[in-house]
């Protein structure tokens, strides 16, 4: 399975994230994709309900695949809480199937009900998380229950039925916008021109790769900030024991990742000095005990998102690597100022 996933990931890198467009012959499908997406956007925008009485922040991306939205959402929760707000996270709950919505996520909620990312965010942030494919209904629930006074919608940039006050678009600093084409020729869900309407562009990576820099040429946005994801702690899946990430140096590690960009996770473990054997799975993969088989002298290390799905059957050598987002002070100041500005008409 890991070999197949690795081959697919490599294929996507060549087809979407190179300088050329080998799938250009599929351009009519890209045009059709764009036409359908724009028609749905207009219909949803026209049918959207009135604005909500609290600030609504949407975190998302215009590219397919993982970009670091969840760590950014966790960082926003912390920044807002430190500024006196009571944030609530809204999520579609991708990969989950609850019997009834809205679903308020608790520490013991199964990822099979809520989805892996909502459970991870509930555990890591300690703030209320509400799952509902109809995000407006989830927002109304959060307000009816008085769960908080600011709403953060995780991965909802294209969910236009939800009114919003602020939008943040996240990019992978190594990949950028790829070849700049829409699905299926390239990785874009929406044209690059969509960025003109977002409030902040966040680039996940210490610095843009040369290829990503080239892909960003022509994007003129007044608020582009860099985000760094730093390894924070190793956490034992069974006992909750925490260890320093430096303990990975020189260790044989079977790196398990069912995320959008597993290569980034594998590279992170190598920078920590681990001797890595890669085990890549599809994004939001439903793990089974046999997926965690390893040699007796190996440590199994996975992402926090994957760990919430493996707690019940994890072997004794299974650990998760938690990461923390770091963003510059000017972004924090600008972001919080905008949130306060959104609430001013309601309090004046």
**Which residues are within 8 A (CB) of 276 and not within 5 positions of it... i.e. 6 or more apart?**
253, 255, 266, 269, 270
Alpha helix stretches (DSSP H) within the chain: 2-16, 27-47, 69-82, 111-114, 116-125, 135-144, 210-215, 262-271, 304-307, 329-347
Rounded Cα gap, residues 124 and 248, in angstroms: 22
Q: Where are the domains of the chain?
A: 10-228+327-343, 239-315
Report the Cα 295 to chain-centroid distance in Å: 31
Backbone angles phi and psi of 248, in degrees to 5: -80, -15
pLDDT (tens digit per residue) in 231-258: 999 999 999 999 999 999 999 999 999 8
pLDDT (tens digit per residue) in 5-50: 555 566 777 788 877 899 999 999 999 989 988 888 887 776 666 7
CATH number of 10-228+327-343: 3.40.50
pLDDT (tens digit per residue) in 58-101: 999 999 877 889 999 999 999 999 999 999 999 988 878 888 99
Write out the two tokens for 118. Answer: 């909502």
Question: pLDDT band for position 216 (50/70/90)?
Answer: low
Name the β-bridge partners of 253: 276, 299
Q: Tokens 């600093």 belong to which residue? A: 173
pLDDT (tens digit per residue) in 153-204: 998 888 888 899 999 999 888 888 888 899 999 999 999 888 888 999 998 8
Rounded Cα gap, residues 123 and 128, in angstroms: 10
CB 41 within 8 A of CB 62: no
pLDDT (tens digit per residue) in 261-278: 888 899 999 999 999 999
CB 109 within 8 A of CB 88: no
| pTM as predicted | 0.88
Rounded Cα gap, residues 64 and 66, in angstroms: 7
Cα dihedral 158/264/129/134 (nearest 10): 20
Rounded Cα gap, residues 23 and 344, in angstroms: 48
Closest CA to 335 of 140, 87, 155: 87
Write out the two tokens for 218. Answer: 């022509």
Q: How many other CB atoms are found less than 10 A from the CB of residue 39?
A: 10
């Amino acid at each position: 399975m890991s070999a197949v996933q690795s081959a697919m990931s490599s294929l996507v890198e060549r087809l979407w994230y190179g300088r050329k467009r080998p799938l250009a012959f599929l351009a009519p499908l890209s045009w059709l994709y764009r036409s359908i997406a724009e028609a749905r956007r207009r219909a949803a925008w026209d049918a959207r309900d009135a604005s909500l009485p609290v600030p609504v922040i949407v975190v998302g991306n215009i590219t397919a695949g993982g970009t670091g939205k969840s760590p950014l959402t966790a960082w926003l929760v912390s920044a807002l809480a430190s500024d006196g707000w009571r944030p609530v996270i809204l999520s579609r709950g991708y990969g989950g199937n609850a019997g009834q919505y809205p679903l308020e996520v608790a520490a013991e909620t199964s990822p099979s009900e809520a989805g892996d990312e909502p459970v991870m965010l509930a555990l890591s942030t300690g703030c209320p998380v509400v799952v509902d494919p109809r995000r407006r209904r989830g927002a109304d629930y959060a307000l009816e229950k008085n769960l908080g006074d600011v709403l953060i919608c995780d991965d909802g940039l294209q969910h236009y039925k939800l009114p919003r006050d602020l939008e943040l678009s996240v990019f992978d600093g190594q990949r950028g916008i790829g070849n700049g084409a829409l699905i299926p020729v390239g990785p874009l869900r929406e044209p690059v021109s969509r960025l003109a309407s977002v409030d902040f562009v966040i680039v996940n990576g210490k610095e843009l790769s040369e290829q990503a820099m080239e892909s960003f040429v022509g994007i003129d946005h007044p608020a582009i900030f860099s985000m760094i994801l730093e390894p924070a702690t190793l956490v034992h899946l069974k006992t909750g024991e925490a260890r320093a990430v430096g303990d990975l140096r020189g260790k044989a590690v079977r790196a398990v990742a069912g995320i959008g960009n597993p290569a980034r996770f594998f590279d992170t473990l190598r920078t920590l000095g681990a001797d890595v054997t890669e085990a890549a799975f599809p994004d939001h993969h439903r793990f089974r005990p046999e997926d965690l088989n390893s040699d007796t002298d190996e440590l199994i290390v996975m992402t926090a998102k994957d760990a919430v799905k493996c707690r019940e059957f994890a072997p004794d050598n299974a650990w998760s690597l938690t990461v923390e987002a770091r963003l510059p002070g000017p972004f924090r100041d600008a972001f919080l100022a905008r949130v306060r500005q959104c609430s001013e008409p309601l309090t004046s």
